[in-house]
């Protein structure tokens, strides 16, 4: 069997947690042939910075998830010492999967968050908001869809990307900080060298806290477009003038 794979190969398989009650059970003699490792959920920060930006997840979804860490909670976090989940704990998070709750036909997972992004990209500007919300209910559940819809309502407050590229000094600046954050999330996903200067001209028109959010994310080692930002002359000048925004708090 080993000869079938290149030297150095690592073979792994995934399955559902038995606690999810989906029928994925390993018999003792099967487990004895394997090394079993339990995987935790991705954290809010991991999902956004290691996946969402690279995958060009819709900015409304990124902004929403950045404000709702409970979306990345596992049902195991709600269990008591006996491995049971009380009714109060079940009601404390209506957006994730909890075994035994038959009314949760749709719920939030990393997979369904990406699907929600696909739904929004496919339908925005083509159907009514009600149709989009209904589609999201079937994707991530009613509670999550209604929460996400408040972020979708801000889409009309965002400037067009081409306006930022062509006229950064006059492009629309949203009145709410939440909408400004959504612009930053969108930019972090798709920024390129050929319009980085225009982006910096626009960025300085946004609230200082939002400027800092962009810088703090862009400078992280795992940010997939770090070199695009960090090598830009206007960003370097901005960072020099606003160094306090990109310096970690000292303990």
| Burial class, 96, CB count within 10 angstroms (exposed 0-12 / middle 13-18 / buried 19+) | buried
pTM exceeding the 0.95 threshold for the entire prediction: no
Q: Is the pLDDT of residue 18 over 60?
A: yes
What is the average pLDDT value for the chain, to the nearest integer?
91
User: pLDDT band for position 244 (50/70/90)?
Assistant: low
151 neighbors 182 (Cβ within 8 angstroms)? yes
* The predicted structure's pLDDT at residue 247: 53
Compute the average pLDDT of residues 61-90.
93
In b/e form, how buried is each residue of 200-229, taking b as 16+ CB within 10 angstroms?
bebbeebeeebbebbbebbeeeebebeebb
**For the chain, what are the domain ranges?**
44-153, 159-246
Look at residue 45 in the predicted model and tell me its pLDDT: 94
The mean pLDDT value for 112-135 works out to 97
Least confident stretch, 24-28, 97-101, 189-193: 24-28
């Amino acid at each position: 069997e080993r000869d079938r794979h290149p030297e150095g190969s690592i073979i792994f398989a995934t399955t559902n947690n038995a606690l999810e009650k989906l029928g994925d059970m390993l018999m003792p003699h099967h487990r004895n042939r394997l090394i079993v490792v339990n995987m935790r959920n991705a954290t809010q920060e991991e999902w956004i910075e290691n996946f969402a930006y690279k995958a060009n997840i819709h900015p409304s979804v990124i902004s929403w998830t950045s404000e709702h860490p409970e979306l990345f909670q596992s049902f195991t976090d709600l269990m008591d010492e006996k491995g049971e989940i009380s009714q109060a704990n079940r009601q404390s998070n209506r957006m994730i999967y909890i075994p035994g709750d038959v009314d949760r036909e749709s719920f939030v997972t990393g997979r369904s968050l990406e699907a929600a992004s696909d739904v929004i990209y496919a339908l925005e500007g083509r159907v009514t908001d009600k149709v989009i919300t209904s589609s999201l209910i079937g994707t991530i559940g009613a509670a999550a869809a209604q929460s996400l819809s408040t972020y979708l309502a801000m889409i009309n407050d965002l400037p067009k990307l081409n306006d930022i590229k062509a006229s950064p000094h006059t492009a629309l600046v949203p009145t709410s900080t939440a909408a400004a954050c959504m612009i930053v999330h969108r930019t972090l996903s798709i920024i390129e060298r050929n319009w980085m200067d225009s982006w910096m001209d626009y960025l300085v028109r946004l609230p200082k806290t939002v400027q800092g959010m962009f810088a703090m994310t862009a400078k992280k080692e795992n940010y997939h477009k770090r070199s695009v930002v960090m090598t830009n002359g206007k960003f370097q000048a901005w960072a020099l003038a606003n160094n306090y925004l990109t310096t970690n708090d000292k303990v």
